[in-house]
Chains A and B, each alone.
Chain A
């Protein structure tokens, strides 16, 4: 488990703000040095994202309002306008906006106790029934899947929609891309995330760049590639890998990892319906061991948004997938010693919700990131680097 800490004394708030302050005072008349001093005294309060907010102080209580205000204020653009026809920065609301609300679970109606593979099975069922172009395919998918995630789907939806493919991951990925480029929804299954590497050419060179390279003429947003990842104990080198770092290095992809049955169903439905290609990594150790009350309804969890599992004041702990179980145990131990931990589940690894984490770290002043994947160039390094820059 990788441990990182940001001491209050090493906070890097000032240099960046000072840079902006120089530009602002030279260009903008609205800002004065008093607002800059205000920032010092408001270190203890919750800050909106500093890169968006340039030298301004916000007194609004809700983060959403502050974000919108920052998004649509044009004062910052004065410094950047080189010509009068300069396009505005925030012409639309990004669908990866972390201010989108989570589903209101109590209002969703009756729930069933399901484990992870059952909740994913339910999500696939809903995806197949709501979108008639959806197909589910991969190795051994027809009989139910080696982890039983696709059981009963073939008998319900037909052999032409739920079928086996020959043993070729690059074929699965390429076929998903081609199917989605013609307007369909393709849910391909890679049997283990350790075997996603033959498909990396298709994923990195084709899937991620499909929309961009065609000038938005063609897109393969209907692709969702599901793969079980993570250690189980006896898997060894080739049934335990967490390849999220390789995938997160590719702009154009969406990488999602749930931590339990309830969020897995919502995240999978969001991923399937997302207009960008998604790699959905499922921690395989949770397939049977994680059991939760999962609503029967069709609900989606917004992508690009992290979830604060428990609030705290002393340290921010960030994780994803099965690692959160370990982190929960650790926070319980810590709370016995009187340390109040804020535990955050990242949920979407790319594009990741840096706003929530920055806000949390500004509050607590310390950050720990923990993940199963190797430390060097792991995704924790990305979080650490961004936080180092922003806080």
Chain B
């Protein structure tokens, strides 16, 4: 007698495919006839009870009369609500394990879903075969700072190769292309390896380092350090009561610098709130960041919003708003405008809109509407999801049951790719390729960047209440994008610990200078409270302002 036992997948085994379950059940059933008979009788006894309970099952599962008895085995484990688990760690990567020989096949930053790593970049286009099982993560550089080989062989021992001339971008590019020919296309087309025509104005260099002013890779590295320092200092400033609120970007610097360097200035950015690095790359100064956080009269937003709600029209960065996900539908509209512009004016440089959001905001209604609109209307844009494992305290497994955000892309008819968000080069390559595809096909592309939110959600949050400190420590010491970048640069003799420390000190001093200057400035005038509500003040606001001023005068309150 052959029993086909259809096991209802219990919640813990949700990720396994049904086929493996059935396979294991049939193997178990065919082990011994005694056992089979025993299980059969107990199963049949369950069946009656089971049928009554699950009478609303589709009939083809309940009964099938073809010589086999299909039996339903109810899972005996009754799920009970449990206390929030603090420890989500499943074998964290230790610093000592990351050596030249360490070539991981899977990764999981937030301690939950283990995802296979691939060194082949493939944007899954609509209509193509989607990955079977978990979507693989595209990664070029491992935690040891070495690039991956295609056949998972060991890393090349780079120290044995003569390092390229100090800080020569093009020579580094050619050296890497020779060592890793499978990445040749990425290296040759990557703007990170292309020196800039003009010196970057934000590279505070000593006289002997003036050649580095056009070095894009070093600029990315320096800006990651700058962002880190700005976060630390302004976070502490909030703790001292000097600003009201702050959100750090620890752990996501690679996403910022990697993606911003792959965009063009005419591409408009719709950010959520944890993307200040993009603005920094485009040229927002530390003074401007601090002015917004201190809400003084030099703030471009005229002091109306909470800190970190940056916006800059000159740099094509839309002003950040607090409601989550609203920027995603707006990005579709902007991309549609670019689409019509491209239709009407072929000579103009093509532009896309890129929208950033976290895995939490990907549950909002705007995300779903936007994906649907973008795919049906065919708008050239990139949906960039920063999957950092937490939405305030909600871990990713409470946020969605499917395979991350990227598995939704084929459902909407959209191209997609999953990348390692802690690898600057992978993010850059993915965004560059996605941008090209979006413009060619006039269609949206989704990128899911796996990363880890090392810091608290904001200054109003204490993340030790819902996650293990070891998990954060592993992210800070091992998988940190900055450490990975430092290691890569040190392999080729571009950086060492002293150089990194001195850059850190320089940037820290710059941030402190900017902060002290911003703190000293006065607040915006009273009139700015009533302007810009409409493009011109309507009569009722003119009247309201007048009443306010009369009130202030009457009670002898001075306000500039």
Contacts and interface: CB of A to CB of B under 8 A. Distances in A.
A186 B333 CA distance: 9
B338 interface: yes
Contacts of B535: 95, 211, 219, 221, 275-276
B532 interface: yes
A28 to B, nearest CB: 13
A206 B365 contact: no
B532 A92 contact: no
Interface string B109-142: 0000000000000000000000000000000000
A175 B381 CA distance: 13
Nearest to A178: B333
A174 B330 contact: yes
A59 interface: no
Contacts, number: 197
Interface in A163-209: 163, 165-166, 168, 170-171, 173-184, 186, 198, 201-202, 205-206, 209
A56 B330 CA distance: 50
A354 B542 CA distance: 13
Contact of B373 (A168, A183, A201): A168
A83 B527 CA distance: 14
A168 B369 CA distance: 6
Interface string B305-322: 100010111000011010
Contact of B334 (A23, A182, A214, A355): A182
Contacts of A23: 550, 553-554
Nearest to B369: A171
Q: How many residues of A sit at the interface, in one of the four size bands?
A: 35 or more
Given A80-B550, A205-B321, A168 B353 contact: no
Interface in A316-352: 351-352
Which of B338, B340, B545 has the most chain A CB atoms inside 10 A of its CB? B340
Given A52-B543, A184-B337, A214 B313 contact: yes
Contacts of B533: 211-212, 251-252
Which of B270, B311, B533, B545 has the most chain A CB atoms inside 10 A of its CB? B533
Nearest to B320: A213
A143 interface: no
B313 A218 contact: yes
Given A170-B369, A180-B333, A181-B334, A206 B323 contact: yes
Interface string B491-520: 000000000000000000000000000000
A97 interface: yes
A92 to B, nearest CB: 6
B158 interface: no
Interface stretch (B45-53, B219-227, B294-302): B294-302
B326 A94 contact: no
B534 A181 contact: no
B376 interface: yes
Contacts of B326: 174, 201-202, 205-206
A202 to B, nearest CB: 6
A20 B550 CA distance: 9
B247 interface: no
A178 B331 contact: yes
Interface in A214-263: 214-219, 221, 251-252, 254
A174 B370 contact: yes
Nearest to A20: B550
A213 B344 CA distance: 32
Contacts of A55: none
A253 to B, nearest CB: 9
Interface in B202-253: none
B531 interface: yes
Q: How many residues of B sit at the interface, in one of the four size bands?
A: 35 or more
A218 B305 CA distance: 14
B429 interface: no
A310 to B, nearest CB: 24
Given A170-B365, A182-B268, A211-B532, A217 B312 contact: yes
Contact of A351 (B331, B338, B538, B550): B538
Contacts of A181: 318, 330, 333-334
Contact of B330 (A51, A94, A161, A175): A175
Contact of B532 (A89, A161, A186, A215): A215
B377 interface: yes
Which of A181, A218, A276 has the most chain B CB atoms inside 10 A of its CB? A181
Contacts of A163: 377
Nearest to A51: B543
Interface string B533-560: 1111111111101110110011000101
A133 B533 CA distance: 24
Interface string A342-368: 000000000110110000000000000
B538 A96 contact: yes
A82 interface: yes
Nearest to A177: B330
A52 B543 CA distance: 7
Given A96-B536, A96-B539, A215-B301, A87 B333 contact: no
A82 B333 contact: no
A170 B368 CA distance: 10
Contacts of B334: 178-179, 181-182
B165 interface: no
A103 interface: no
A351 B319 contact: no
Interface string B14-50: 0000000000000000000000000000000000000
Contact of B340 (A160, A177, A219): A160
A215 B302 contact: yes
A94 B542 contact: yes
Interface string A35-63: 00000000000000001100000000000
B534 A96 contact: yes
Which of A87, A182, A352 has the most chain B CB atoms inside 10 A of its CB? A182
Contacts of A219: 535
A132 interface: yes
Given A168-B369, A355-B539, A175 B532 contact: no
Contacts of B299: 215
Contacts of B86: none
Contact of B329 (A174, A275, A355): A174
Interface in A50-89: 51-52, 76, 79-80, 82-83, 87, 89
A351 B540 contact: yes
A266 interface: no
B372 interface: yes
B405 interface: no
A304 interface: yes
A289 to B, nearest CB: 33
B106 interface: no
Contacts of B488: none
Which of B311, B339, B532 has the most chain A CB atoms inside 10 A of its CB? B532
Interface string B402-428: 000000000000000000000000000
A183 B309 CA distance: 22
Interface of A: 20, 23, 51-52, 76, 79-80, 82-83, 87, 89-90, 92, 94-98, 132-133, 135, 160-161, 163, 165-166, 168, 170-171, 173-184, 186, 198, 201-202, 205-206, 209-219, 221, 251-252, 254, 275-276, 304, 351-352, 354-355
18 contacts: A79-B550, A89-B542, A89-B545, A98-B539, A132-B344, A133-B340, A160-B340, A170-B366, A171-B366, A175-B332, A178-B332, A201-B323, A209-B321, A211-B533, A214-B313, A217-B319, A252-B534, A351-B541
Interface of B: 268, 270, 299-302, 304-305, 309, 311-313, 318-319, 321, 323, 326, 328-340, 343-344, 353, 365-366, 368-370, 372-373, 376-377, 527, 531-543, 545-547, 549-550, 553-554, 558, 560
The 4 residue pairs across chains A and B that have the minimum distance between CB atoms: A174-B329, A178-B333, A171-B369, A178-B330
Given A174-B333, A178-B334, 14 more contacts: A20-B550, A79-B553, A89-B542, A92-B536, A165-B376, A170-B366, A178-B336, A182-B334, A186-B333, A214-B301, A214-B311, A217-B300, A221-B535, A355-B539
